[in-house]
Structure 1
Amino acid sequence: MGLLDDLKVQYRMGGITQRLIFWNIGIFLISLFFYEFRLGVFIFPDWLALSSDPLTVAIHPWTLISYAFLHSGFLHLLFNMLVLNYSGMLFLTFFKEKQLVGLYILSAVFSGIVFSTAYFLMGQQSTIVGASAAIMAVLMATTTYSPKMPIRLLLIGRVQLWHMTAVILIIDLMQLMIENTGGHISHLAGAFFGFIYIKMLQNGTDLSKIITGISDWVVNISKPSNPKPFKKVHRNYNTKQNPTASKLIGRDKKQQQIDDILDKISRSGYESLTQEEKDFLFNAGK
């Protein structure tokens, strides 16, 4: 199996965090056809990056989401994807994948609006790109829900989750008026949204259902208008009485093998699979 096939399997079989990482990398690579390289960073046009000008945002409303999948350079992308992978893993300890997607998108929109409004009120003009605000929302949501969750940091050791989050917030506050003011404003807005998301969820309101509802609507309208009626299949495993039973059993064995491999991925990750198991999954998905 080639590298491309291996990536396809990882995308299909990996969790939503891995898919978000794929989307970030893919959109960033595509966006490089439209960038301008200036002062060591990638500068994107106003119809891709998020502008601080409310009129520009009104003309290009999709930038409230697109900016959260763009990055100013390869190191910016690498760092954010490492943090997204870690924060997403922590978040999915308690919540569903659809909630992660919903929180990511909604926090990006909220943080973008806060950034644009703040800069407009300050009489300044700029643009921002990056997934940091959405990632901060995911991290803050997990911290709000389980602040004493034990984590282990390289060179530091065992700490509680709120310790790490607090340090990140303090750094953002300290650098707010020194450099990258727009970025720090969006980070803090993302953290605030993550906090509000959990508090509303605990009171019975799941804001992520807004995104889930939209995605389900898109999926439903793309389905055929006249689907074929559902057909029941009665299985008889007595091969003497039913000559097709052996085929059904074969399919069951194949599905069981797929389930076993997926269980192994959930326990140990995709990298724990043997090459034979990877090839089997790839061929089964064709």
Structure 2
Amino acid sequence: MNILNDLKLQYKIGDMTTKLIFWNILLFAIPSVAFALLQLFGITISYYNYVGLSNGLNDLLLKPWTIISYSFFHNGFFHILFNMLMLNFAGKLFVTFFTQKQLLGLYILGGVLGGIVYIVSYLFFPLLANQHALLVGASASVMAILIATTTYQPEMNLRLALIGNIKLWHIALVFIVLDFIQLPIENTGGHLAHLGGALFGFIYIKALQNGTDLSSGLNAVLDWFANLFSPKKATPFKKVHRNPKSPSTKTTSKIVTKDKTQQQIDEILDKISQSGYDSLTADEKEFLFKAGK
């Protein structure tokens, strides 16, 4: 199995945190390589102008998708590295208590509110007056996930290397304080967007505790689009229903084969959950990849 197939398999069996990390890395790597190659031919395209969130309302009206797209693009290797490490940390904690769909909805909506706070801040704060800037990065979305988890379970104990035992709210507090400290120093709009994402994370959990899932509407729309473009699957064992009185031996053998295959898949997935994906043998990875097709 080559590296590409290995990555495809990890994406297929990965949770929503893994998929979000894949999307962010691909949307960073592919444009970076493609436009770098174009520059060799004297063609320069600033694609951030089309995916980044501008601080101007007029630009948002012309490019409304940027209120979402900005949170999937990054400017620089260390920018995406830090955000993906934090996304992996916060995302894994979040899905301990909530669903994969709620994680996706929170990621997108946290980025949206962070973007709104970013735009509004340029309209009202004198420090940002008469400036033009573009916002990219998943920081607001990651802050939404981190603060949401902290709001729900602030006393969760974590053990960090070189630090030891620490509560989750201590970590969240450090990031909030750092954003406030850096507001007048650099990247003011970006740090305000982080705080906007954090605010949505807090609001999201409070609303959820009162019986309202703010991500349900968005997830319903995403499910509709997913079903729209998903191929329709044929009804399994259709021939059995056509001739229930005389089931053929072929139909029986197919059922047995499927049961054995599913049993082997379940055993491999149990092994992954206990020891991690790297514990699989090459044959097991190959089998799981083929079964996922």
> Is the pair's TM-score, using the shorter chain for normalization, greater than 0.5?
yes
1:198 aligns with 2:201: no
Cα shift readout 1:134-163 (whole Å, capped 9, x = no counterpart): 001000000000001111112101111001
Which secondary structure does the structure 2 equivalent of 1:31 belong to?
helix
Q: Whole-Å Cα distance in 1 between the matches of residues 237 and 230 of structure 2?
A: 18
State the AA in 2 paired with 1:78: L
1:65 aligns with 2:68: yes
Q: Name 1:118's counterpart in structure 2.
A: 121
Q: Name 2:14's counterpart in structure 1.
A: 14
Q: Whole-Å Cα distance in 2 between the matches of residues 161 and 43 of structure 1?
A: 39
Q: Name 1:152's counterpart in structure 2.
A: 159
1:88 aligns with 2:95: no
Q: Name 2:107's counterpart in structure 1.
A: 104
Change (3 A) 1:168 1:49: same
State the AA in 1 paired with 2:88: N
Cα shift readout 1:146-182 (whole Å, capped 9, x = no counterpart): 0011111121011110011111111111111111111
C-alpha contact 1:258 1:281 (8 A) present in aligned 2: yes
Q: How does 1:1-286 map to 2 (within 5 A)?
A: 1-32=1-32, 33=34, 44-122=47-125, 123=129, 124-222=131-229, 243-244=249-250, 245-286=252-293
State the AA in 1 paired with 2:16: I
Which secondary structure does the structure 2 equivalent of 1:58 belong to?
helix
C-alpha contact 1:87 1:139 (8 A) present in aligned 2: yes
Instruction: State the superposition RMSD in angstroms.
Output: 2.5
C-alpha contact 1:31 1:70 (8 A) present in aligned 2: no
Cα deviation, residue 262, structure 1: 1.8
Q: Name 1:238's counterpart in structure 2.
A: none
Cα deviation, residue 126, structure 1: 1.2
Cα shift readout 1:76-103 (whole Å, capped 9, x = no counterpart): 1111111111111000110000000000
Change (3 A) 1:258 1:159: same
Cα deviation, residue 231, structure 1: 5.8
Cα shift readout 1:85-129 (whole Å, capped 9, x = no counterpart): 111100011000000000000111111011011112232321111
C-alpha contact 1:21 1:81 (8 A) present in aligned 2: yes
Which secondary structure does the structure 2 equivalent of 1:138 belong to?
helix
Which secondary structure does the structure 1 equivalent of 2:102 belong to?
helix
Farther off after superposition, 134-143 or 211-220: 211-220
Higher helix share: 2
Q: Whole-Å Cα distance in 2 between the matches of residues 66 and 192 of structure 1?
A: 20
Cα deviation, residue 272, structure 1: 2.5
Cα deviation, residue 259, structure 1: 1.4
Cα shift readout 1:4-37 (whole Å, capped 9, x = no counterpart): 0000000001111111000001111233245899
- How does the TM-score come out when normalised to structure 2? 0.87
Which secondary structure does the structure 2 equivalent of 1:159 belong to?
strand
C-alpha contact 1:43 1:72 (8 A) present in aligned 2: no
Unaligned runs of 5+ residues in structure 2 are 40-44, 242-246
Q: Whole-Å Cα distance in 2 between the matches of residues 223 and 44 of structure 1?
A: 30
Which secondary structure does the structure 2 equivalent of 1:158 belong to?
strand
